[in-house]
Amino acid sequence: MFLEKSKYSGRSGWIEVICGSMFSGKTEELIRRLKRAKIARQKVEIFKPMVDTRYDEEDVVSHDDNSIRSTPVYSANQILLLANDFDVVGIDEAQFFDEELSAVCNILANNGIRVIVAGLDMDYLGNPYGPIPVLLATAEYITKVHAICPICGDLANYSHRMVEQEGQLMLGETDVYEPLCRKHFLEKLKNSKKKQS
């Protein structure tokens, strides 16, 4: 399946996934790895979904205001057209891409490219998000990062949506989302279901 469009180059490629909740440092870690690759004089390109314009229309920007120039794209397949001749390809906010992203990443890796993907692994209801689960299954390296639960100080693994709006896709910052540990996420999820019934 993933080898169909590949032209195996003989060079070793692989996939790295950085995942976790909102405010856990995913983009920060992605930027750090890409900047190190640039220091090593590797050819680097980073892509982000066109829908993500929270901080900047083109740059990938972390919550700590670190940034790196990127190329916004409408779909995962566009990445294939633009990622030729690079040693390292970064992809931010991967959960917003279509299901083709995992195939695209595998084709790039099969062609000898190091692919670094960052994204939410769960949505605001705690369900697996977009193409991330398939990427986790095929990646060579997985880094799960955590935020801190503001209620108890434990590690936060969940992204709780604080406003009532249905639909998986809703861009927002600390005014819309908060990171929570399992215990407090389940409590707030239960309370919001009670309000709705």
**Catalytic residue positions?**
93
| Paired tokens of 155 | 């590690």
Reported as half-sphere exposure (CB side, CA atoms, 13 A), residue 48 has a value of 25
| Entry field: residues in the chain | 197
Q: Contact 106/138 with Cβ under 8 angstroms?
A: yes
Residues 6+ apart with CB under 8 A from 119: 17, 18, 19, 26, 91, 92, 93, 94, 95, 96, 129, 130, 132
Which CA distances in Å does 115 have to 41, 86, 94? 16, 10, 12
Scanning the structure block, which residue is given the tokens 């005014």? 175
- Pairing between β-strand 141-145 and β-strand 67-68 as defined by DSSP bridges: unpaired
